[in-house]
């Protein structure tokens, strides 16, 4: 297997050409090249990936950093809980609208200008949020932040797929898993620690210098590692994408927030579903001329479809648990914000430590020996959570969260690597955008599913005469029961995840 990525090039066209000739996906047996992983990448390429990883971690961290700060914001800005939730909902909504467009951006523009645009937007949004005089400006800052965040993850994934040879891709994808799974998990902990000593503005002031440093270093050191091509931008696809993905995420997030909403949650969900159908039909028409905004031929790859489906179910479990466990610890056990955040920290650390290890194991053994036990462990942890109540020991909850995190760590990296690695080079950007979009929709779905189930079950228990704490515990158990049942789907799908083999560099997935 040839590998031209070890020779640095200064011309973007040369870089794309040499990599085209060297891209052959790994077979199910561990390739001999895996032994020389450190030599597989040029120093320039390692620097580019490292800068993108750090930058992506910083921007993704902000997706969940606001939840813990909500009580403080309600008091300082004189807003309701429903209004305050928009600081998270608007972030997710913007991500869902912008991410599908990144498939076009990553084809049309080169690595360095896309990175600069993403980090500039994120830094500007962070600055606006830090100095916001009121809720409206703070909400605007969150939207601008999310615009930059939405570009970073597809950029990172696409760059890794272009630079890292398939034989050693697992360990780098392991580092991406740290960004995707650990950053959202530690966000509440970090914000809790900051809020113990400072105002809510410090959450943004803490991130701003890190973001500016990443922007400056990236503008100085990142080189172009892709080959842009002319790609027309279809306006109708953008509108349908915004209505489709945005409507789904908004509706699911509104459903998950509970309480009264200006528009019933089913309305945006229905509008989103109908717009999404129209979006799919539009892309199927455009991709015949190779000009789709989001090329859905990625789903012609069975490995991509199976891996993405299992990944979506795993994301439902992750985000559902991230929203449910803090509520359980605070409403049933009466813990404050900071102890709650600290109890969730070990699970995030475990995922971060295991992710690179799982990546190396993937390079050696392939996905099946990792994903099958990983999904089983995730399911076992969720079933264990269905037993929690008022007298459940805190150490048991902590242990089960760590077990859940271990299972997710063994799941994410193999799924990302197998799914995206099954695509030809020309669909890398579309695959990355598709996966990132599914993450957002699955995260919103997990939050809505767990919270809605918990609310309905708690209300029913209260009507049957249970006290407030007992009713809350009953609601939590019911929500975890639904999540545990859904996790069985991931176990079944895990048996069908395979290492991609012999993907042509410029061809289309099998089945086209």
Task: Return the top range by mean pLDDT from 24-38, 74-88, 172-186, 197-211.
Answer: 197-211
Q: Can you give the pLDDT at residue 101? A: 86
pLDDT at 13 over 50: no
- Which residue would you say has higher pLDDT here, 140 or 28? 140
334 burial via Cβ count (<10 Å: 0-12, 13-18, 19+): exposed
CB 297 within 8 A of CB 416: no
Nearest by Cα to 494 from 369, 391, 351: 369
% of the chain with per-residue pLDDT over 70: 87
Q: 22 falls in which pLDDT band (50, 70, 90)?
A: very low
- Which residue would you say has higher pLDDT here, 260 or 108? 108
419 burial via Cβ count (<10 Å: 0-12, 13-18, 19+): buried
Nearest by Cα to 177 from 322, 62, 318: 318
pLDDT at 40 over 70: no
Q: How far apart are CA 317 and CA 330, in angstroms?
A: 20
pLDDT at 11 over 80: no
* Mean pLDDT of the chain, nearest integer: 81
Q: Can you give the pLDDT at residue 38? A: 44
Q: 261 falls in which pLDDT band (50, 70, 90)?
A: low
Q: Which CATH class is domain 38-226+233-494?
A: mainly alpha
Domain boundary assignment for the chain:
38-226+233-494
Q: Can you give the pLDDT at residue 67? A: 67
Task: Give the other-Cβ count within 10 Å of 361's Cβ.
Answer: 21
Q: Can you give the pLDDT at residue 410? A: 93
Q: What is the pLDDT of residues 114-146, one digit of tens each?
A: 999 999 999 999 999 999 998 999 999 999 999
Q: Can you give the pLDDT at residue 260? A: 57
Q: Can you give the pLDDT at residue 81? A: 66
Q: 16 falls in which pLDDT band (50, 70, 90)?
A: very low
Q: Can you give the pLDDT at residue 32? A: 40
pLDDT at 113 over 60: yes
Q: What is the pLDDT of residues 167-206, one digit of tens each?
A: 777 878 887 877 777 777 777 778 878 888 888 899 899 8
Give alpha helix (H) positions in 222-259. Answer: 235-257
297 burial via Cβ count (<10 Å: 0-12, 13-18, 19+): buried
Q: 437 falls in which pLDDT band (50, 70, 90)?
A: confident
356, 49, 294, 125 alpha-carbon torsion, rounded to 10°: 100
- Which range, of 101-105, 168-172, 259-263, 388-392, averages the lowest pLDDT? 259-263
Q: Can you give the pLDDT at residue 106? A: 83
- Which residue would you say has higher pLDDT here, 158 or 510? 158
What mean pLDDT comes out for the span 293-302?
88
% of the chain with per-residue pLDDT over 90: 24
Q: How far apart are CA 112 and CA 133, in angstroms?
A: 33
pLDDT at 337 over 50: yes
Q: 107 falls in which pLDDT band (50, 70, 90)?
A: confident
Q: 9 falls in which pLDDT band (50, 70, 90)?
A: very low
- Which range, of 42-46, 233-237, 258-262, 408-412, averages the lowest pLDDT? 258-262
What mean pLDDT comes out for the span 436-460?
83
Q: Can you give the pLDDT at residue 14? A: 35
- Which range, of 65-69, 91-95, 160-164, 435-439, averages the lowest pLDDT? 65-69
Q: CA-based Rg of the chain, rounded to a whole angstrom?
A: 22
What mean pLDDT comes out for the span 211-239?
83
What's the sign of the alpha-carbon dihedral 186, 190, 196, 198? negative
Q: 401 falls in which pLDDT band (50, 70, 90)?
A: very high
Largest separation between any pair of C-alpha atoms in the chain: 72
Q: Can you give the pLDDT at residue 277? A: 94
Q: 377 falls in which pLDDT band (50, 70, 90)?
A: very high
The helix-helix angle for 266-286 and 235-257 (nearest 10°) equals: 150
Q: Can you give the pLDDT at residue 130? A: 93
**281: phi then psi, degrees, rounded to nearest 5:** -65, -40
Q: How far apart are CA 189 and CA 145, in angstroms?
A: 20
pLDDT at 34 over 70: no
Q: How far apart are CA 295 and CA 212, in angstroms?
A: 33
- Which range, of 5-9, 369-373, 476-480, averages the lowest pLDDT? 5-9
Q: How far apart are CA 409 and CA 358, in angstroms?
A: 7
Q: Can you give the pLDDT at residue 279? A: 92
Q: Residues 6 or more apart from 235 whose CB is under 8 A from it?
A: none
- Which residue would you say has higher pLDDT here, 161 or 279? 279
pTM of the full structure:
0.76
Q: What is the pLDDT of residues 239-252, one digit of tens each?
A: 998 888 888 878 87
């Amino acid at each position: 297997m040839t590998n031209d990525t070890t020779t640095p090039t200064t011309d973007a066209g040369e870089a794309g050409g040499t990599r085209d000739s060297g891209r052959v996906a790994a077979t199910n047996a561990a390739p001999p090249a895996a032994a020389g992983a450190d030599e597989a990448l040029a120093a320039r390429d390692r620097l580019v990936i490292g800068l993108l990883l750090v930058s992506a971690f910083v921007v993704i961290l902000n997706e969940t950093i606001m939840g813990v700060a909500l009580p403080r914001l309600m008091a300082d800005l004189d807003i309701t809980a429903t209004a305050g939730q928009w600081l998270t909902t608007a972030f997710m909504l913007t991500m869902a609208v912008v991410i599908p467009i990144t498939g076009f951006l990553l084809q049309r523009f080169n690595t360095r200008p896309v990175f600069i645009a993403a980090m500039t937007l994120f830094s500007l949004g962070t600055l606006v949020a830090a100095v916001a005089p009121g809720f409206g400006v703070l909400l605007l800052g969150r939207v601008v932040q999310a615009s930059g965040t939405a570009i970073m993850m597809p950029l990172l994934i696409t760059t890794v797929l272009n630079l890292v040879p398939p034989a050693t891709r697992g360990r780098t994808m392991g580092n991406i898993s740290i960004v995707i799974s650990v950053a959202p998990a530690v966000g509440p902990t970090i914000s809790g620690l900051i809020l113990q000593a400072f105002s809510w503005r410090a959450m943004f002031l803490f991130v701003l210098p890190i973001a500016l440093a990443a922007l400056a270093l990236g503008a100085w050191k990142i080189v172009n590692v892709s080959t842009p091509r002319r790609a027309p931008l279809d306006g109708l696809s953008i509108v349908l994408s915004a209505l489709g993905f945005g409507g789904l995420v908004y509706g699911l997030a509104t459903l998950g927030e509970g309480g009264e909403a200006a528009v019933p949650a089913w309305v945006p969900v229905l509008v989103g579903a109908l717009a999404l159908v129209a979006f799919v039909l539009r892309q199927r028409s455009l991709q015949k001329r190779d000009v789709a905004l989001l090329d859905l031929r990625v789903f012609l790859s069975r490995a991509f479809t199976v891996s993405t489906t299992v990944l979506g179910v795993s994301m439902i479990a992750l985000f559902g648990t991230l929203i449910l466990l803090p509520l359980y610890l605070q409403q049933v056990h009466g813990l404050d914000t900071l102890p709650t955040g600290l109890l969730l920290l070990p699970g995030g650390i475990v995922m971060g430590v295991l992710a690179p290890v799982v990546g190396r194991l993937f390079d050696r053994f392939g996905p099946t020996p990792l994903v099958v036990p990983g999904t089983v462990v995730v399911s076992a942890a969720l079933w264990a959570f269905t037993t929690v109540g008022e007298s459940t020991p805190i150490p048991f909850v902590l242990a089960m969260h760590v077990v859940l995190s271990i299972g997710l760590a063994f799941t994410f990296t193999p799924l990302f690597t197998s799914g995206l690695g099954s695509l030809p080079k020309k669909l890398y950007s579309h695959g990355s955008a598709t996966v990132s979009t599914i993450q957002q929709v699955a995260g919103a779905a997990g939050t809505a599913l767990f919270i809605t189930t918990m609310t309905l079950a708690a209300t029913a228990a209260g009507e049957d005469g249970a006290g407030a704490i007992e009713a809350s515990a009953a609601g939590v158990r019911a929500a975890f029961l639904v999540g545990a049942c859904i996790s069985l789907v991931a176990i079944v799908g895990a048996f069908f995840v395979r290492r991609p083999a012999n993907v042509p560099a410029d061809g289309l997935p099998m089945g086209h």
